[in-house]
Amino acid sequence: MGFGQGLSGLKGAAQKLDVIGNNIANSGTVGFKSSTVSFADVYANSRVGLGTQVAAVNQNFSIGTISNTGGQFDMAIDGDRGMFRVTDQSGQVMYTRNGEFSVNKEGYLVNPQGYYLTGYVGESTTPERIRVPYGNIAPQATSTMSLEANFNANSPAVPVDAAEQLGVLRDTDNGVDYHFRMNGDTYEWVDDAGNPTAAPTGPITSNGVTINFDASGQPTGSLDGAQLTAYVPAVVGMDFDPTVPGSFTHVLPMTVYDSLGNSHQLTQYFVKRDPVAGPPAESVWDVHYLVDGNEVTPTPAPQLRFDEGGRLTAPTAPFTLNIPLAGGTSPAEPLAISVDYAGSTQFGGEFKPDYLQNGYATGEYSSLTFASDGSIVASYTNGEVMNTGTLALAHFNNLQGMKPVGGNAWIETAESGPAILGTPGSMGFSTIKGQALEESNVDMGTELVNMIITQRVYQANAQTITTQSEMMQTLINIR
Residues 6 or more apart from 240 whose CB is under 8 A from it? Answer: 247, 248, 269, 271, 286, 288
Torsion of CA 290, 295, 300, 301, to 10 degrees: 60
Alpha carbon 97 to chain centroid, angstroms? 28
∠ CA 336-337-343, nearest 5°, is: 160
- Distance (Å, whole) CA 370 – CA 115: 19
Q: Specify the DSSP element, H or E, that contains 253.
A: strand 250-257
- The pair phi, psi for residue 283, each rounded to 5°, is -90, 145
- Distance (Å, whole) CA 209 – CA 288: 46
Instruction: List, in order of start, the domains of the chain with CATH numbers.
Output: 4-62+441-476 (no CATH), 66-132+387-436 (no CATH), 144-158+239-357 (2.60.98.20), 161-233 (no CATH)
- Distance (Å, whole) CA 307 – CA 248: 21
- Distance (Å, whole) CA 299 – CA 315: 13
Q: Which amino acid is at 23?
A: N
Contact status, residue 300 vs residue 286, Cβ threshold 8 Å: no
CB atoms within 10 A of CB 348: 10
pLDDT at 234: 46
pTM of the model: 0.68
Q: Is the dihedral of CA 377, 379, 382, 383 positive or negative?
A: positive
Give the three-class secondary structure for 389.
strand
Per-residue confidence of the chain (479 residues) as pLDDT tens digits?
567 787 888 888 889 999 999 999 999 999 999 999 988 888 877 777 788 888 889 999 999 999 999 999 999 999 999 999 999 999 999 999 999 999 999 999 999 999 999 999 988 889 999 999 988 999 999 999 999 999 999 999 987 654 445 667 777 777 787 877 777 677 888 877 667 888 888 788 876 778 888 888 888 876 654 344 444 454 456 778 999 988 999 999 999 999 999 999 999 999 999 888 778 889 999 999 999 999 998 877 789 999 999 999 999 999 999 999 876 778 899 999 999 999 999 999 999 999 999 999 999 999 999 999 999 999 999 999 999 999 999 999 999 999 999 999 999 999 999 999 999 999 999 999 999 999 999 999 999 999 999 899 888 888 888 887 778 888 788 86
Contact status, residue 84 vs residue 97, Cβ threshold 8 Å: yes
CB atoms within 10 A of CB 182: 11
Contact status, residue 132 vs residue 119, Cβ threshold 8 Å: no
Q: Is the dihedral of CA 434, 435, 441, 445 positive or negative?
A: negative
Torsion of CA 158, 160, 165, 168, to 10 degrees: -70
In DSSP terms, which residues pair with 438 in a beta bridge? Answer: 66
Q: Which amino acid is at 346?
A: Q
In DSSP terms, which residues pair with 76 in a beta bridge? Answer: 433
Q: Is the dihedral of CA 102, 108, 109, 115 positive or negative?
A: negative
Total residue length of the chain: 479
pLDDT at 232: 47
Of 151, 88, 81, residue with least CA distance to 116: 88
